[in-house]
């Protein structure tokens, strides 16, 4: 099991490496996370580092209606192909960074706790087997939404706008390597100010991670570091300014972010 | 008036510079196109260079329903805020590169000739005046669409999927600097195999370029090299495999791409 992190050290330098969750030690690596990373002889105490988003996606592909429980609650048929929008790179923040309430928007902000798939290899038109091999690992996602914008215009659902604001894609705290994470056995648990609001099993997914990567790779080339946000299930709600949202997935960890006013 | 291009030279090296459209000479530049580019003493005949997409956007923000003529034809009210989707970086191709018919899709492919705004400065929450100053220049866009996917699912309009395929954002042939392009006097003319299919005036736009940049900069930070595709007007249609589409804007140039089978 490898936990990959990106970090800023006490000198302000950005690096990446592996975290031993038991000892709390981080071994810095050279090269690129997705292309033959090499351990260096530099190590840190994790407590001395500021964690950053664990990867720098060129795009986030965010799914809608990918859990049977939610599709039943919404009374929408399960889709035949992943339904998605694209979130831009500038929407990404890491653990403990603040979600910013957009200056131009005074409505409700919603959390959506999700599993994130991190792509490790450039992949196009992949079979399910090839797709499985292209998954580097998994992380937690809070897919934040300016929910009142979504249906503001009667002619056009504003998915990209309502979910694309800076700081609206919280990722982290680290990436757990694919070989070490059994998504079938895990739940996504979202709490707001410590109160549980979502707790749903990943095995209720309509498209499995490998199916998602395969099908989406027929729509566009997926690049190393790209993230697929697997969609959320029931229990979505709004966040008050100043409140903390924790997205926890057993086997990965807990992603915490506060909504700033 | 400056025409900025990106190119691959005969040795396969990628560079950028300015094109004199009268002499056909290209002066290579050093540094970055959007950050103090410096002319070098290297020059080329444009005919010896392969043009690339003139910039490398981190995202393309593509507008829908931004012309009065189209909004009337569709019988949709003009929007109060730009309605948009996001196209990923891998969708970009340059002049004379081929649009690829996706292997997984056997339906019609549509052209949409559009004006493209190229951002020159990082910009957030900008006034219209600040937005105007952040516009580096303009280019032509063919916003290609796998049109039969758009409404394939009754519950979710698949804007990002139908427009996000690799090769579906044709940009070029160059960027004309903002000071040298009077969009109010120009038309977008789209031809397919030489037959005119679109010819619409840019001054029919609902949101002007500076208004678009200002309003969108309240939704997300725009980065140097990002492109806003200003939306199309009437005359959209489909492209047969093997057909050439030319998008021409007087004062900018002609962007040509063929749809490969």
- Say if the Cβ atoms of B77 and A165 lie within 8 Å: no
In this prediction, the answer to ipTM > 0.90 reads yes
- Tell me the C-alpha distance between B222 and B225, whole Å: 9
pLDDT value, residue A115: 98
- Say if the Cβ atoms of A90 and B58 lie within 8 Å: yes
Q: Residue B155 is nearest to which of A59, A65, A124, comparing CB atoms? A: A65
* Contact in structure between A3 and A19 (CB atoms under 8 Å): yes
Percentage of residues of chain A with pLDDT beyond 90: 99
- Say if the Cβ atoms of A103 and B125 lie within 8 Å: yes
pLDDT value, residue A1: 73
pLDDT value, residue B35: 95
Q: Please tell me which residue of chain A has the smallest CA distance to B56.
A: A58
Give the tens place of pLDDT for each residue, B102-137: 999 999 999 999 999 999 999 999 999 999 999 999
Residue A14 has pLDDT above 80, yes or no: yes
The mean pLDDT value for A131-140 works out to 98
pLDDT value, residue A225: 98
What domains can be seen in chain A, in order of their start residue?
3-51 (2.30.30.370), 53-260 (3.90.850.10)
SS3 A88: coil
Confidence of residue A95 (pLDDT cuts 50, 70, 90): very high
Q: Residue B89 is nearest to which of A58, A102, A125, comparing CB atoms? A: A58
- Tell me the C-alpha distance between B107 and B149, whole Å: 8
Encode burial over A138-168: b for 16+ CB neighbours within 10 A, e otherwise. bbbbbbbbbbebbebbeebbbbbbbbbbbbb
- Say if the Cβ atoms of A88 and B166 lie within 8 Å: no
Q: Residue A160 is nearest to which of B65, B84, B104, comparing CB atoms? A: B84
- Say if the Cβ atoms of B90 and A219 lie within 8 Å: no
pLDDT value, residue B227: 98
Q: Residue A160 is nearest to which of B76, B86, B89, comparing CB atoms? A: B86
CB atoms within 10 A of CB A192: 18
The mean pLDDT value for A193-214 works out to 98
Confidence of residue B1 (pLDDT cuts 50, 70, 90): confident
- Say if the Cβ atoms of A85 and B88 lie within 8 Å: no
Triad A193, A232, A208: Cα angle to 5°? 135
Q: How far is A11 from chain B (nearest CA, A)?
A: 26
**Phi-psi sector, B162: left (phi>0), alpha (psi -120 to 50), beta:** alpha
Mean pLDDT of chain A: 97
Chosen for mutation from B61, B82, B90, B144 (greatest number of chain A CBs closer than 10 Å) is B90
Q: Please tell me which residue of chain B has the smallest CA distance to A56.
A: B58
Confidence of residue B261 (pLDDT cuts 50, 70, 90): confident
- Say if the Cβ atoms of B220 and A86 lie within 8 Å: no
- Do you know the residue count of chain A? 261
Q: How far is A232 from chain B (nearest CA, A)?
A: 16
pLDDT value, residue A124: 98
pLDDT value, residue A129: 98
Give the tens place of pLDDT for each residue, B4-49: 999 999 999 999 999 998 999 999 999 999 999 999 999 999 999 9
Give the tens place of pLDDT for each residue, B179-219: 999 999 999 999 999 999 999 999 999 999 999 999 999 99
Give the tens place of pLDDT for each residue, A203-212: 999 999 999 9
Give the tens place of pLDDT for each residue, A150-164: 999 999 999 999 999
The separation between CA B1 and the C-alpha centre of its own chain, rounded to angstroms, equals 19
* Contact in structure between A173 and A24 (CB atoms under 8 Å): no
Give the tens place of pLDDT for each residue, B51-109: 999 999 999 999 999 999 999 999 999 999 999 999 999 999 999 999 999 999 999 99
Q: Residue B58 is nearest to which of A77, A87, A88, comparing CB atoms? A: A88
Give the tens place of pLDDT for each residue, A46-78: 999 999 999 999 999 999 999 999 999 999 999
* Contact in structure between B229 and B61 (CB atoms under 8 Å): yes
């Amino acid at each position: 099991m490898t936990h990959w992190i990106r970090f800023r050290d006490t000198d302000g330098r950005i690096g990446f490496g592996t975290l031993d969750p038991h000892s709390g030690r981080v071994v810095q690596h050279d090269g690129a996370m997705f292309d033959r990373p090499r351990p260096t002889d530099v190590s840190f105490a994790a407590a001395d580092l500021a964690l950053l988003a664990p990867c720098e996606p060129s795009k986030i592909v965010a799914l809608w209606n990918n859990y049977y429980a939610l599709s039943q609650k919404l009374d929408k048929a399960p889709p035949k192909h992943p339904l998605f929008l694209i979130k831009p790179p500038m929407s990404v923040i890491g653990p403990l960074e603040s979600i910013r309430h957009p200056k131009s928007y005074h409505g409700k902000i919603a959390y959506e706790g999700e599993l994130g798939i991190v792509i490790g290899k450039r992949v196009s038109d992949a079979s399910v087997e090839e797709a499985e091999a292209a998954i580097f690992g998994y992380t937690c996602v809070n897919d934040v939404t300016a929910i009142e914008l979504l249906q503001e215009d009667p002619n056009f659902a504003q998915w990209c706008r309502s979910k694309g604001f800076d700081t609206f894609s919280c990722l982290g705290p680290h990436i757990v390597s694919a070989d070490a994470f059994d998504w079938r056995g895990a739940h996504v648990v979202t709490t707001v100010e410590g109160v549980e609001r979502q707790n749903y099993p990943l095995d209720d997914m309509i498209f499995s991670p490998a199916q998602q990567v395969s099908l989406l790779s027929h729509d566009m080339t997926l690049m190393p570091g790209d993230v697929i946000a697997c969609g959320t299930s029931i229990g979505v709600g709004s966040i008050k300014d100043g409140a903390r949202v924790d997205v926890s997935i057993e086997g990965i960890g807990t992603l915490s972010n506060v909504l700033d006013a």
